[in-house]
Amino acid sequence: MNKNTSANKSKGNLGSFLRRSSVPIMFIIICAFCIPLSGLSPSYLVNEIVTRMGRNAFLILSLLIPIMAGMGLNFGMTLGAMAGQIGLILASDWQIVGIPGMVLAAIISVPISILLGLFCGKILNMAKGREMITSYIMSFFINGVYQLVVLYLMGSVIPIAHSTIKLPRGYGIRNTVSLLAMRQHLDNLIPLTIKGVKIPVATFLVIALLCVFIIWFRRTKLGQDMRAVGQDMEVARDAGIKVERTRIIAIVISTILAGIGMIIYLQNMGNIATYSSHSQIGMFCIAALLVGGASVDKASIGNVFLGVILFHLMFIVAPRAGAAITGDSMIGEYFRVFVSYAVITIALIMYETNKRREKSRNSEQLQQAQQEEENR
């Protein structure tokens, strides 16, 4: 009897493992199919993946903590991205270049991130049970405020000295701000090239540091409280944990990390698209995390890295593969956008249906128990 149940369990584990990793497996198949079609060389792909890993991993890692606190996918990470951009704009206007410029940008972004995170956390506490849609709308709302600041206040209220980043009309920031003075300064801080693959060692070190921080954070009292709050707010409250405060802290940390992540992201890109860089970043980061096998309520560091690799591999090869099949490169462009959204949709649906599946199990057990009783 005992053996039986344990066998059942391992079978169930395998099944649930397959279910959980269905998205990564699907992506492996898509990539395996598209890579040969794209005709891109392996060394090119490796190079690209390594670059994109350095560019995106930090941003995606910022999503982990709110998931731990049961607040779902933090669509509000865009808030942090905006804070990071403001930091970079100011730092480049003040002509602080290179690594010091990045550090300065980070220092400017942190208090902004904290404020935005506090606001966002407060609002999310008022909308428990629909955090995701709220944080999603929140990103639009703050985007409006961001535009107000960057397009109207910068140059008129907030002094901006250099005309290279200012719009010709005298206030507001240009559509593109060049970060030439910081471009890949972090990536190239410790130069290393292995077999033609350029490795941004310093960026990887920063990412590794963040990973260590997250692992360590999970072992702290606060991390433990967040996990408790994430699983059952009422129980946590009864045990004396300050639920609302803990949730706000989770969002604040996530926002700060997203801000720093955005700075790393943009130093690699080399310029800021002032009014669009941030708007899609949340969606792509969330999609990448989910592709790595995370779900709305469970995500690990491993998911982040697997996600970056698979998602960006798809991203690189899809346009070429699409062009190879249909002769139109736009197909691939649209395909990858579609896949990003589809992945998020599927993950959300799976999360909601899993929640409901739990409930139906009970009545089956009851029916079984009664039958057993009658058989006796």
Partner 1 sequence: MNEQNKPLLELRNIQKDFFGNQVLTDINLTLHEGEVIGLVGENGAGKSTLMRILFGADMIRETGGYGGDVILNGETVHFSSPFDAIAAGIGMVHQEFSLIPGFTTTENILLNREPTRSNVISQIFGDRMNTLKRTEMDERAANAIEIMGVDIDRSMVISDMPVGHKQFTEIARELSKEQLKLLILDEPTAVLTEREAEALLESIRGMAARGIAIIFITHRLQEILSVCNRVVVMRDGYVVNESPASETNVQEITRWMVGREVKGGEETSVSSRNTETSKTILSIRKLWVDMPGETVRNVSLDVKEGEILGIGGLAGQGKLGIPNGIMGLYPAGGTVLFDGSEIPLNNPRRCLDSSFAFVSEDRRGVGLLLDESLEWNIAFPAMQIQNRFLKKYLGGLIKWRDENAIREITEKYIDELAIKCTSSRQKAKELSGGNQQKVCLAKAFALNPRVLFVSEPTRGIDVGAKALVLQALKNFNRESGVTIVMVSSELEELRQSCDRIAIVSGGKIAGILPAASSVEELGALMLSQVI
Partner 2 sequence: MNTDKKEKGRIGQFIESFGLPRLIITAFLLLLLILAPFVGADLPTQITNIIARFSWNGILVLAMVPMVHSGCGLNFGLPLGIISGLLGATLSIEFGFTGGLSFVMAILIATPFALVLGSGYGWLLNKIKGGEMMIATYVGFSSVSFMCMMWLVLPYKSPNMVWGLSGKGLRTTISLEGYYIDTLARFLRIRIGNLEIPTGTILFFALLAFLMWAFLHTKTGTAMTAVGSNPTFAKAAGINVDKIRLLSVVMSTWLAAVGILVYEQGFGFVQLYMAPFYMALPAVSAILIGGATVNKATIMNVIIGTILYQGIVTMTPTVMNNMVHMDMSEVIRIIASQGMILYALTRKTEGAK
Which stretches of the chain bind partner 1, using CB under 8 A? 216, 219-222, 224-225, 227-228, 231-232, 234-236, 238-241, 360, 362-363, 366-367, 369-370, 373-374
CB of 125 to partner 2, least distance (A): 9
Q: Is 287 helix (H, G, I), strand (E, B) or coil?
A: helix
β-strand partners of 272: 177
Residue 349 interaction partner, one of partner 1, partner 2, none, beta carbon < 5-8 Å per kind: partner 2
Contact call for residue 216 and partner 2 (CB under 8 A) = no
Binding to partner 2 (CB under 8 A) within 298-327 occurs at: 326
Residue 185 vs 336, nearer CB to partner 2: 336
Binding to partner 2 (CB under 8 A) within 148-167 occurs at: 148, 151-152
How many Å apart are CA 166 and CA 101, to the nearest integer?
Answer: 19
Residue 153 interaction partner, one of partner 2, partner 1, none, beta carbon < 5-8 Å per kind: none
Name the residue among 342, 346, 320 with its Cα closest to residue 333: 320
Contact 312, 49 (CB under 8 A): yes
Helix (H) or strand (E) holding 69: none
Residue 229 vs 301, nearer CB to partner 1: 229
Residue 50 vs 228, nearer CB to partner 1: 228
Name the residue among 232, 247, 243, 228 with its Cα closest to residue 123: 247
Contact call for residue 96 and partner 2 (CB under 8 A) = no
The dihedral sign for the CA sequence 298, 73, 35, 302: negative
Q: Which of 38, 51, 85, 134 is in the footprint of partner 2 by CB under 8 A?
A: 134
CB of 367 to partner 1, least distance (A): 5
Chain centre distance of CA 139: 14
Contact call for residue 175 and partner 2 (CB under 8 A) = no
Which residue's entry shows tokens 């169930």?
Answer: 12
Question: 119 exposed, middle or buried (CB, 10 Å; 0-12, 13-18, 19+)?
Answer: buried
Residue 212 interaction partner, one of partner 1, partner 2, none, beta carbon < 5-8 Å per kind: none
Residue 110 vs 343, nearer CB to partner 2: 343
**Cβ neighbours of residue 336 under 8 Å, at least 6 residues apart?**
314, 315, 318, 319
Residue 49 vs 123, nearer CB to partner 2: 123
Q: Which of 27, 58, 136, 315 is in the footprint of partner 2 by CB under 8 A?
A: 136
Q: Which of 37, 45, 97, 143 is in the footprint of partner 2 by CB under 8 A?
A: 143
Q: Is 154 helix (H, G, I), strand (E, B) or coil?
A: strand
How many Å apart are CA 344 and CA 288, to the nearest integer?
Answer: 9
How many Å apart are CA 313 and CA 317, to the nearest integer?
Answer: 6
Contact 332, 318 (CB under 8 A): yes
Residue 224 interaction partner, one of partner 1, partner 2, none, beta carbon < 5-8 Å per kind: partner 1
CB of 249 to partner 2, least distance (A): 20
Contact call for residue 234 and partner 2 (CB under 8 A) = no
> DSSP of 7-29, one letter per residue?
HHHHHHHHHHHHHHTHHHHHHHH
Contact call for residue 240 and partner 2 (CB under 8 A) = no
Q: Which of 355, 366, 367, 370 is in the footprint of partner 2 by CB under 8 A?
A: 355
Residue 221 interaction partner, one of partner 1, partner 2, none, beta carbon < 5-8 Å per kind: partner 1
The dihedral sign for the CA sequence 64, 68, 69, 75: positive
Contact call for residue 345 and partner 2 (CB under 8 A) = yes
In single-letter form, the type of residue at position 352 comes to E
Radius of gyration over every alpha carbon of the chain, rounded to an integer in angstroms: 23
Contact call for residue 144 and partner 2 (CB under 8 A) = yes
Query: Which chain residues interact with partner 2 by CB under 8 A?
Result: 123, 126-127, 129-130, 132-134, 136-138, 140-141, 143-145, 147-148, 151-152, 326, 328, 330-331, 334-335, 337-338, 340-342, 344-345, 348-349, 351-353, 355-356
